[in-house]
Amino acid sequence: MGRLRDSIRLHDGLIYDRHAYGKAPGRDPELLIRSTEPPSPLELAGMESISMVDLEVFRHKMNSIVEEARDVYMSLSISEGIITGDMNATVFTPEGDPAVVATGIFFHSLLNYGPIKYVLEYYRDDPTVGLRDGDVYFFNDPTCGGVHTFDMFVFAPIFFEGELIGWAEVGGHQGECGSISPGGFSPTATTRWEEGLHVHALRIADNWELRRDILDFFLNSVRNPFVFASDLKARVATVQRIRDRVIREAERRGKEQVAGGLRKILSVTADLARQRLLQLNDGIYRNVMFNDGVGNDSGLVRVPTTVIKEGDSLTVLVQGVSPENNRGPQHSTWHLMKASMGVYLFTYFFRGLPANMGLFDPIEVLVEGPSIANCSADVAHGEGTTISAMLVQNVHVMGSKMLFGSEHRLGVSAPFARNVTLYIQAGTNSYGYRTANFSGAANAAGQGARFDLDGEHAAGFYWASFTDAGEVEESDMRLPTVTLARMIDKDFHGFGKFRGGTPLMEVSMAPQGGCQMTSRGGSDRVSHNSGLFGGYAGPPNPRFVIRGTNALEMLADSDPRLKFSQYALAKEQAIEGEYIFATSSAATEDFQAGDIFVYSISAGGGYGDVLEREPEAVLEDVRAEVLSAETARDVYHVVVDPHTDQVDQQATTAARAAERDERRERGKPFGEFIQGWLSQRPREDMLTYYGNWPEPRLESYDKPYWGQYE
């Protein structure tokens, strides 16, 4: 280890490099913490025989296979999440490492190796299970390599001439899983036993035929058997397509080059990652993220992150985390924390490099546990992605600072929107079958501002590249709600020299027969969408519903006061009804016809000082109705001449100069600032789940900065 890495001091009595839970039937955490496996003799033979030029051709072919699988899976499915791209497709090496990953959700593929390695370790030579061509396995257990129980996956071995040359895998967000809340997200769950099915690795098909007894068990365990059966068959069909395509390549190249090619993709990618790291400045980087709730309860919890960049390696340390609270499902696992980082690393930090597990070879991951970030087995895990996303946001901020001084500055940006509030609506849809899922509007969050450009509006899903919000007319048929409007809203992004992107705002209504809705999320009052280098954070995103409205009557009368945007509904309140702004995580409730849901997946943070934004760009946003005239005046200090509707340059220069003078007046010497800063403390009721203040793991702490390094 290097000088900087050796300066890190870990807390005694806590664990960092493994899970906080141990081995159990169907679960071996030792398999989940392994790096990529050493090559087998078959892989070594293939690695030696395939040239670098041929490897590139082979990698392109494998990418085409998983991208085709992505399209096949989306086309065959009827779950809202899968149709709009909340899914993954992967080819694994024979030893179970993800080698080729489709666009969609990268991090699914990065953690789904657990069940495959479990089958290899425990079932392949077990006479009661075994491993044969045509086997298909199912899993969804978050303690075994899954995300949360409503993300479901299948995988199948790929045999050629009697030898295992790889694995095909596909999965995604199916929703309903038999938990205490329709649709899987259960904000009130305090143990995993309230979160429905937990399947570690179960063989569900022989010779590609689904077993009827197992299928019946699944369908009798969920609220939406029609959707479950349809999507499970779509998964099996998709992995069979992957398998057939890879077999065809083996017929051309031979088994050695396919198995060895997959392994060589990983080793070459790992070398490229190390070369990229060598181009960045060494140092210790640190960022801290807070959440303002734990499931149904309010209260602060903390996820700090330290990154040590030294030579060609990174150490990511999550230390000083709030303890487990047993009050809700916002608990993550070690492997989910690690895999989640792929969302940022693949898209921005290692921009341009192949997306696979090899990028993690130079990265050491240390996650303090037991804690909300590395929890024990029996707590609820359903919203573990809230915690792992806090790590991703931390790494995004630090990664941007690392990249800024390098030739890879194009990757510098404020974090992508993650002030998640998700509405999961349940009921009977227009086709007459029961469903429970969320709208494709979840795939249209705002992008963080970039170092040289504004963030894109409604750019995509936080976890998945290349997603789509879907068509409203089709969504209305599949979901038990009616969409009234979709739009890019006003004043709903982070401000800065370059502004963040605004999300797609969706307003929907409960149908004549009513429906149910569960909501989940975080950052009701504290933003997770940081600004960068002086940019404002994206705004918090609480739940907003209006009950008992007269909207149906107003629609029938074409009432001109009806404006279906969050900005207009909250500010003007033209619709009669009970306006409710509440915590984003709430248990399932019944809603009646005419009740309105106001929903978005949140906005990106800004980049740089608002006073450096070009006044014409501010005016353009006002004209595009993504910015109000009040905000242009009060935040950007841009004065618009009411007679010409143009920027008054002289008045704007004067207003900005006055604001800079006021900033100087408000400024303090560092010693005075830090003295006041250290004396601040949240209300006691907000620290119920936090741990010790300010350092959760230490009873007494008097250093001016948080961080346990020498």
pLDDT per position as a tens digit, 396-449: 999 999 999 999 999 999 999 999 999 999 999 999 999 999 999 999 999 999
Q: Which two tokens stand for residue 264?
A: 């060589």
Q: In terms of Cα–Cα distance, which of 557, 598, 561 is closest to 576? A: 561
173 bridge partner residues? 151
Pairing of strands 421-428, 515-521: antiparallel
* CA dist list (Å): 202 to 55, 119, 241, 384, 518: 34, 9, 20, 23, 29
In degrees and rounded to multiples of 5, residue 272 shows phi and psi of -65, -40
52-76 and 255-278 helices, crossing angle to 10°: 100
Quick check: 319 and 304 in contact, CB under 8 A?
yes
Q: What is the pLDDT of residue 8?
A: 84
Q: Which two tokens stand for residue 465?
A: 């590249």
Residues found in the chain: 710
b/e map 481-507, b = 16+ CB within 10 Å: bbbbebbbbbbbbbbbbbbbbbbbbbb
Quick check: 434 and 230 in contact, CB under 8 A?
no
- Helix H segments across 322-464? 334-340, 342-344, 384-404
| CA 564-627-451 angle, 5° bins | 125
Q: What is the pLDDT of residue 403?
A: 98
CA-to-CA distance for 115 and 96, rounded, in angstroms? 9
Q: What is the pLDDT of residues 537-590, one digit of tens each?
A: 999 999 999 999 999 999 999 999 999 999 999 999 999 999 999 999 999 999
Contacts with 283 (C-beta within 8 Å, 6 or more apart), sequence order = 4, 308, 309, 402
Q: What is the pLDDT of residue 511?
A: 93
Q: What is the pLDDT of residue 1?
A: 57
Q: What is the pLDDT of residue 708?
A: 58
Q: 275: phi > 0 → left, psi -120 to 50 → alpha, else beta; which?
A: alpha
Q: Which residue has the tokens 């800004």?
A: 606
Q: In terms of Cα–Cα distance, which of 31, 584, 512, 22 is closest to 294? A: 584
pTM listed for this prediction = 0.96
| CA 559-563-567 angle, 5° bins | 155
CA-to-CA distance for 337 and 79, rounded, in angstroms? 26
Which run of H or of E encompasses 75? helix 52-76
Note the Cα 452 to chain centre separation in Å.
25
CA-to-CA distance for 68 and 61, rounded, in angstroms? 11
CA-to-CA distance for 336 and 475, rounded, in angstroms? 30
Residues of the chain falling short of pLDDT 70: 1, 705-710
CA-to-CA distance for 175 and 422, rounded, in angstroms? 12
Q: What is the pLDDT of residue 111?
A: 87
Q: What is the pLDDT of residues 265-312, one digit of tens each?
A: 999 999 999 999 999 999 999 999 999 999 878 999 999 999 999 999
Quick check: 498 and 452 in contact, CB under 8 A?
yes
Number of H helices, E strands in the chain: 20, 22
Q: Which two tokens stand for residue 675?
A: 């003295």
**Sheet of 586-591, strands arranged across:** 434-437, 421-428, 515-521, 586-591
Quick check: 473 and 555 in contact, CB under 8 A?
no
Q: Which two tokens stand for residue 65?
A: 């296979």
The burial of 651, by beta-carbon neighbours within 10 Å (0-12 exposed, 13-18 middle, 19 or more buried), is given as middle
> What is the 8-class DSSP label of residue 411?
G
Q: What is the pLDDT of residue 396?
A: 98
Please count the CA atoms within 13 angstroms of the CA of 106 that sit on its side-chain side: 23
Q: In terms of Cα–Cα distance, which of 218, 313, 302, 289 is closest to 2? A: 313
Before 370, cis peptide (omega within 30)?
A: yes
Q: Which two tokens stand for residue 626?
A: 């993504």
Before 694, cis peptide (omega within 30)?
A: yes
